[in-house]
Amino acid sequence: MGKLVDLKAKPYNLNDDAIKWVENTIASMTDEEKVGQLFTNLFFFGEDQFSGNTLTNKEILEKYHIGGARYQGGSAKQVQELINSLQKDSKIPLLVAANCDAGGNGAANDGTYIASGAQVEASGDTTVGYNAGYVSGREEAAMGVNVNFDPCVDILKNWRNTIVNTRAYGTNADDVIKYTNAYLEGLDQSEV
């Protein structure tokens, strides 16, 4: 079977040594480990959110072989400690996700808030969207987050929608595209 993905091309940009590591790692994995890579675990700070959960973070990694981590809440210090601990104990580097649509506050409770999608649209200024993307990228990367679930590209059709309402960049496609592109430009520049 031939290669399905060009690992040397964007977004992977892997060199020959990195590709060899990927191929060797996959070849050494059990079926259970491969299946585990499909799952992302949600970690909480403070009290356990689910009664009966007695596994430590390390035990979750060892038992379920998760491929990703998501977390709820936490200060920058707590988040960084969690991510560092998970990456240290994981056999395979984890994808770590956050919702950073309004700035670094999506990566940590004490991150820098710039503006929600609704505030970006209300400003009428793509620079605000650019800054939200830029700050999101800088602060999430500083903590070890490597997957950003944003920007929200939904078109707001129902203001009562509690999931989308303030996250949306507008009520029409043109505004959503304009401000989403600005956010993505800022996010892209944060990686330079």
Pair (124, 74) in one structural domain: no
Pair (92, 105) in one structural domain: no
Span 86-104, average pLDDT? 95
Pair (88, 114) in one structural domain: no
Q: What is the pTM of this model?
A: 0.87
Number of domain units in the chain: 2
How far apart are alpha carbons 68 and 26 in whole angstroms? 16
Is 8's pLDDT higher than 90? Answer: yes
Pair (60, 91) in one structural domain: yes
**What pLDDT, on the 0 to 100 scale, is given for residue 191?**
84
Could you tell me the sign of the dihedral formed by the alpha carbons of 181, 119, 117, 98, in that order? positive
Is 49's pLDDT higher than 60? Answer: no
Most confident of 3-17, 44-58, 171-185: 171-185
Pair (93, 121) in one structural domain: no
Which domain covers residue 90, as residue numbers? 7-98
Q: Residue 72 has what DSSP assignment?
A: E
Residue 2 lies in a domain: no
Q: Residue 93 has what DSSP assignment?
A: P
**What pLDDT, on the 0 to 100 scale, is given for residue 99?**
92
Pair (82, 144) in one structural domain: no
Is 50's pLDDT higher than 70? Answer: no
Is the CB of residue 120 less than 8 Å from the CB of residue 169?
A: yes
Pair (83, 169) in one structural domain: no
Average pLDDT score, the chain: 92
Residue 1 lies in a domain: no
**What pLDDT, on the 0 to 100 scale, is given for residue 2?**
59
Per-residue confidence band for 48, with pLDDT thresholds at 50, 70 and 90: low
Pair (186, 116) in one structural domain: yes
Q: Which of 24-28, 43-47, 48-52 has the lowest mean pLDDT?
A: 48-52
Q: How far is CA 6 from the centre of its chain?
A: 23
Looking at the chain, the number of H-run helices and the number of E-run strands are 7, 4
